[in-house]
């Protein structure tokens, strides 16, 4: 894979058989003009090239150009758990127990080196923006010194509630990363602390991120305050005797705590009923789908079509190698298209690019459009390149492909 970090003096006209702008229909025999680290024109090659003067022309021939991908939810510090866990077929608690145990066994060097490897892989597959969650910040300097953009969420786990949300400071002025606190889940963070984390983020215009409605055990715990999650909290000396179970679903619980709005990102949202959907439709939080992870643990499949009908913005995450065989946004797209055949390839690609970028706060990324940053991928598809726009998007998701080149800023 070739790559080029664009500089202000670069002025290029690049051509490919297909340009996928995301914000508009695919363009056959398209071209993009890049100047001063911005996309200035996108359109048909025969229309754009006449006006482009003093420009370096790069013809990528039989390729497809699209924006860099967004992996909106990872836990890089769990990368060392690759292949140490096999699918769990619905046993969420065993999975949690295994992750806790194996995580404790990992050395700091192992955590860092395995995260480095996953980052390298993510770059090679075309990811440009990452939403990473960590408990230790071991991976934070790797991220801040990488070509990626994104968010690092310092995850809070404390059901007892005693946690000091001190101002996060990290000296990396040129970093492309935003840093803030996130809450692990409704069953592992006390209600008051959940509200404190939301308020911390609201004051700083940051995204509030939380795993939510992932397993049936979570539903039982919030409805009755008992079950295997309560046992686990007791074992870990995290059970709070004063906790009064809200007696409602995770979505209703978060709504009752006033945590749902468009600056909240719900990870998973697998167990969502009709009433929950109405709440989501009204409060409009963002949703991050991690279907590969849901299938690996066996917790169920999120209602993506219903989320779309409710007008919710959806992005895609891989979650970690503790709950997925692969960390690949392409694989996630393929899985969504297999399990949810009524979701169009346009919609899936939008989730993996533009939506992820917008949700993580990168407004001029995730699409090929004048004024946007040229973080773009040139892909070689190992299949016949159709000349029909509908077919090309399906092929792009499902066919074997290789990144030939990437431009980035
Ligand atoms: Zn996660």
Quote the pLDDT of residue 173. Answer: 52
CA of 291 to the centre of ligand 1 (A): 11
Quote the pLDDT of residue 277. Answer: 98
CA of 183 to the centre of ligand 1 (A): 11
Element (H, E) at 333: helix 329-339
Quote the pLDDT of residue 29. Answer: 97
CA of 303 to the centre of ligand 1 (A): 18
Q: What is the pTM of this model?
A: 0.96
pLDDT in tens, the chain (409 residues): 999 999 999 999 999 999 999 999 999 999 999 999 999 999 999 999 888 888 999 999 999 999 999 999 999 999 998 878 888 777 899 889 999 999 889 999 999 999 999 999 999 999 999 999 998 888 888 998 899 999 999 999 999 987 888 887 765 555 799 999 999 999 999 999 999 999 999 999 999 999 999 999 999 999 999 999 999 999 999 999 999 999 999 999 999 999 999 999 999 999 999 999 999 999 999 999 999 999 999 999 999 999 999 999 999 999 999 899 899 999 999 999 999 999 999 999 999 999 999 999 999 999 999 999 999 999 999 888 888 887 899 999 999 999 999 999 9
Quote the pLDDT of residue 174. Answer: 59
Torsion from C-alpha of 212, 214, 216, 222, nearest 10 degrees: -10
Cβ-Cβ contacts under 8 Å for 246 (sequence gap 6 or more): 222, 252, 253, 256
CA of 135 to the centre of ligand 1 (A): 11
Buried b / exposed e along 314-331 (16+ C-beta atoms within 10 A): bbbbbbbbbbbeebbbbb
Domains of the chain: 2-67+366-408 (2.30.40.10), 69-359 (3.20.20.140)
CA of 94 to the centre of ligand 1 (A): 16
154 Rama class: left (phi>0) / alpha (psi -120 to 50) / beta: beta
CA of 290 to the centre of ligand 1 (A): 8
Rounded Cα distance between 190 and 12, Å, is 53
State the pairing for strand pair 127-134/69-74.
parallel
For residue 310, the number of C-alpha atoms closer than 13 Å in the C-beta half-sphere is 24
CA of 73 to the centre of ligand 1 (A): 6
Quote the pLDDT of residue 337. Answer: 97
Quote the pLDDT of residue 171. Answer: 59
CA of 181 to the centre of ligand 1 (A): 14
Quote the pLDDT of residue 172. Answer: 58
CA of 319 to the centre of ligand 1 (A): 5
CA of 317 to the centre of ligand 1 (A): 9
Place of tokens 């179970």: 245
Rounded Cα distance between 394 and 334, Å, is 9
Residue 269 structure tokens: 């949202």
CA of 211 to the centre of ligand 1 (A): 6
CA of 6 to the centre of ligand 1 (A): 33
CA of 72 to the centre of ligand 1 (A): 10
CA of 331 to the centre of ligand 1 (A): 17
CA of 341 to the centre of ligand 1 (A): 25
CA of 161 to the centre of ligand 1 (A): 21
């Amino acid at each position: 894979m070739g790559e080029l970090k664009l500089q202000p003096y670069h002025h290029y006209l690049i051509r490919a058989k297909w340009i996928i702008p995301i914000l508009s229909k695919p363009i056959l025999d398209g071209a993009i003009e890049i100047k001063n680290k911005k996309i200035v024109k996108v359109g048909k090659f025969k229309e754009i090239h006449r006006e482009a003067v003093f420009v370096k022309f790069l013809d990528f021939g039989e390729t497809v150009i699209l924006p860099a991908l967004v992996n909106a939810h990872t836990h890089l510090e769990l990368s060392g758990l690759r292949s140490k866990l096999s699918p769990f077929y619905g046993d969420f608690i065993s999975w949690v127990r295994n992750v806790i145990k194996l995580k404790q066994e990992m050395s700091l060097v192992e955590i860092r080196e395995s995260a480095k490897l996953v980052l390298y892989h993510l770059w090679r597959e075309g990811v440009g923006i990452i939403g990473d969650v960590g408990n230790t910040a071991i991976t934070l300097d790797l991220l801040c010194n990488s070509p990626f953009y994104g968010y690092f969420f310092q995850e809070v786990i404390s059901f007892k509630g005693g946690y000091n949300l001190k101002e996060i400071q990290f000296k990396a002025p040129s970093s492309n990363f935003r840093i803030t606190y996130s809450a692990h889940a409704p069953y592992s963070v006390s209600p008051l602390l959940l509200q404190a984390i939301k308020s911390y983020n609201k004051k700083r215009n940051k995204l509030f991120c939380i795993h939510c409605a992932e397993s049936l055990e979570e539903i039982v715990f919030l409805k009755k305050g008992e079950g295997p999650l309560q046992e686990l909290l007791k074992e870990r000396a995290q059970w709070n005797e004063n906790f009064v179970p809200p007696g409602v679903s995770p979505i209703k619980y978060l709504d009752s705590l006033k945590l749902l709005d468009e600056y909240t990102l719900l990870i998973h949202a697998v167990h969502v009923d009709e009433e929950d959907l109405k709440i989501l439709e009204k409060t409009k939080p963002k949703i991050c789908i991690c279907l590969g992870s849901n299938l690996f643990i066996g917790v169920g499949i999120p209602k993506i079509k219903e989320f779309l009908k409710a007008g919710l913005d959806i992005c895609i995450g891989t979650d970690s190698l503790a709950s997925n065989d692969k960390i690949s946004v392409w694989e996630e797209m393929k899985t969504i298209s297999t399990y949810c055949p009524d979701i169009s390839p346009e919609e899936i690609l939008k989730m993996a690019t533009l939506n992820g970028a917008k949700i993580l706060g990168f407004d001029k990324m995730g699409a090929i459009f004048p004024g946007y940053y040229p973080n773009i991928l040139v892909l070689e598809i190992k299949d016949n390149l159709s000349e029909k726009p509908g077919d090309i998007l399906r092929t792009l998701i499902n066919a074997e492909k290789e990144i030939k080149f990437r431009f980035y800023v």
